[in-house]
Amino acid sequence: MRTKTWLPLTLKEVFSLTGRPSARLVTSPDDLREALVIALRNYEAELHGAQNPVRRLWDRQGGGNTFRPIEEDGLSDDVKLFLERELVTNAIIANREVEISRVPGAPVGQRTDIRINALRRSEDGTAFDVITAVIETKGCWNKELFTALEAQLYRAYMVRLQAPVGIYLVGWFDKPKWDPKDDRRRRTPNCTLLDAQMRLDAQAQAIPAGFSVQALVLDCHAPRLDTEKGSRRA
């Protein structure tokens, strides 16, 4: 069986892998899941890097000291742009072409679901050995936060698309600077990021064998204000 199913690397793929230390080899669904988790953790780290890029995920209210998170579609768009740069432009996955798109058949106006195809091509250019992953993005205020991992990501998308890999991605926005007039703040569970991660991890582990699901709760805490930076230096 191993002889019939093994797909050896071509010389081009070997040279591509050895020539770029940051490149990752993807030969299985678990490899693709791991590559996506690393990329998304890099996204999280970048948000809180120099110049506070996390600002783009928050709308400052009237120039004051309160913010509102952007909508789920905006978060999903930002993640998609990062993955296109990280995985496609930078060719982090060495032995496959990566195609990133929206999930086909999603309801009109629902753009939070991202489909990733990691595929290999034969010498004649035809695609073979395609591994598909679906990323479902949720804001921490979503009323289906603790039910959609199974009902939506797994049953509605992974099963229908025959996608063996699923990432349940939650943007966790903290409350201290969140505009109290924003109804989404009230709908956000009164638990910690770690508590939410543990609860979703348990759900991901309960998904049937043959599907690889990972829950990721991203730290999207509000940006520091210039006045706060100045007070710390003082």
Examine residue 8 and state whether it is found in any structural domain, yes or no.
no
> Which pTM was predicted?
0.86
**Long-range contacts: 77-81, Cβ < 8 Å, 24+?**
77/111, 79/40, 79/43, 79/114, 79/135, 79/137, 79/169, 80/114
Q: Give the model's pLDDT for residue 231.
A: 43
The mean pLDDT of 154-167, rounded to a whole number, is 95
Q: Give the model's pLDDT for residue 89.
A: 82
Examine residue 68 and state whether it is found in any structural domain, yes or no.
yes
Closest CA relative to residue 221, chosen from 48, 81, 45: 48
Helix (H) or strand (E) holding 199: helix 193-205
> Given a cut of 50, is residue 233 above it in pLDDT?
no
* Domain count within the chain: 1
Q: Give the model's pLDDT for residue 234.
A: 34
DSSP 132-198: EEEEEEEETT-TTTTTHIIIIIIIIIIHHHT-SEEEEEEEE--STTB-TT-HHHHHS-SS-HHHHHH
- 233: tokens are 């230096």
Examine residue 163 and state whether it is found in any structural domain, yes or no.
yes
Which of 17-26, 102-111, 177-186 is modeled with the greatest confidence? 177-186
Q: Give the model's pLDDT for residue 90.
A: 79
Q: 129 vs 221, which has greater pLDDT?
A: 221
Residue pair 185/179 in contact by the 8 Å Cβ criterion: yes
- 170: tokens are 């939650």
> Given a cut of 80, is residue 124 above it in pLDDT?
no
Q: Which amino acid is at 27?
A: T
Examine residue 4 and state whether it is found in any structural domain, yes or no.
no
Q: Give the model's pLDDT for residue 221.
A: 96
Examine residue 31 and state whether it is found in any structural domain, yes or no.
yes
- 79: tokens are 């993640």
- Sign of the Cα torsion 61, 67, 69, 75 reads positive
Helix (H) or strand (E) holding 131: strand 127-139
- pLDDT band at residue 232 using 50, 70 and 90 as cut-offs: very low
The mean pLDDT of 41-53, rounded to a whole number, is 94
113 beta partners = 136
Q: What is the mean pLDDT of the chain?
A: 87
204: domain range? 16-233
Q: 230 vs 94, which has greater pLDDT?
A: 94
pLDDT digits (tens, 9 = 90+) for 170-183: 999 999 999 999 99
Q: Give the model's pLDDT for residue 4.
A: 54
Examine residue 110 and state whether it is found in any structural domain, yes or no.
yes
Examine residue 157 and state whether it is found in any structural domain, yes or no.
yes
- pLDDT band at residue 162 using 50, 70 and 90 as cut-offs: very high
